[in-house]
Amino acid sequence: MRYEWLDDFLMNKPGVTKDLQKDWNWIRYQIGGKMFTAICLGGDDKPYYITLKLDPLEGDFLRQQYEDIIPGYYMNKIHWNSIKPEGVVPDELLKDLLDKSYQLVLSGFSKKKQKEILENVTLTETLSCCGTDCKKCGCYGMMCKGCNESLGKVFHAPEGQACPIYECSVNRNKYKGCGECNCVPCDIWRKTKDPAFSDEEFEKNIQERVARLERK
């Protein structure tokens, strides 16, 4: 796929999550649990369509301008459009269309729900896979960019390596976080105890982290 920037571009939008819908072999990008973009994968797991939502009039106009934009693949043909990932649609145009799709789906929620979604963004972005809220750490923004942004290579991990918890949860098991694991809190959690904590403080810290993961 020529649009190698696409995943980073979408995941940097507030409140966006993604998953793999195995039945269709689609990578879905969602806001508030509703899809606004999908990368449709072929039998070789390579992208063959980028599907997004547009205003019907704009979608119809663009289909007439670009042969690489067609009615939504396996979607509502009026509101959804599919773009060939190896086509000639300009990068800046595609970014604009992705922005519009995101806004269309977000605006479909009530004002109250939109506010809830966007208010939860900060915690989601700074909550590590083990339930630690990075923004509450004195090192965040100074000597550490946070667990998610550094891909687990936080300040207290061996240089060039991910924290053991991140390595197990995200890299090895492909979880979004430890909240998807039935073994939490596990031995790896206990082996990475902050020496500054007493046993009592550490147990309280574990309970707080588990609670955050349950709310996520």
Judge whether residue 115 has pLDDT over 90. no
Return the closest-CA partner of residue 170 out of 185, 153, 195.
153
Judge whether residue 216 has pLDDT over 70. no
pLDDT in tens, 4-53: 999 989 988 888 888 988 888 999 999 999 999 999 998 888 999 999 99
**What percentage of the chain carries pLDDT values higher than 90?**
62
Query: What does the pLDDT read at residue 125?
Result: 65
Judge whether residue 123 has pLDDT over 60. no
Average pLDDT for residues 180-185, to the nearest whole number?
Answer: 92
Judge whether residue 122 has pLDDT over 60. no
Q: What is the edge-to-edge ordering of all strands in the sheet holding 69-71? A: 16-21, 26-31, 34-41, 47-53, 80-83, 69-71
Higher pLDDT, 35 or 143: 35
Tokens (6 digits) for 109: 């929620």
What is the residue type of 203?
Answer: E
Q: Which domains does the chain have, with CATH numbers?
A: 6-119 (3.90.1150.30), 126-215 (no CATH)
Q: Which residue has the tokens 């390579």?
A: 46
pLDDT in tens, 153-179: 988 888 889 999 999 999 999 998 999
Distance set, CA 56 to CA 6, 50, 52, 74 (Å): 23, 17, 12, 16
Helices then strands, counting H and E runs in the chain, come out as: 8, 6
| pLDDT, averaged across the chain | 90
pLDDT in tens, 53-64: 999 999 999 999
Instruction: Report the SS3 class of residue 157.
Output: coil
Average pLDDT for residues 171-200, to the nearest whole number?
Answer: 91
Higher pLDDT, 181 or 115: 181
Judge whether residue 120 has pLDDT over 70. no
What is the residue type of 145?
Answer: K
pTM of the model: 0.59
Phi and psi at 22, nearest 5°, equal -65, -35
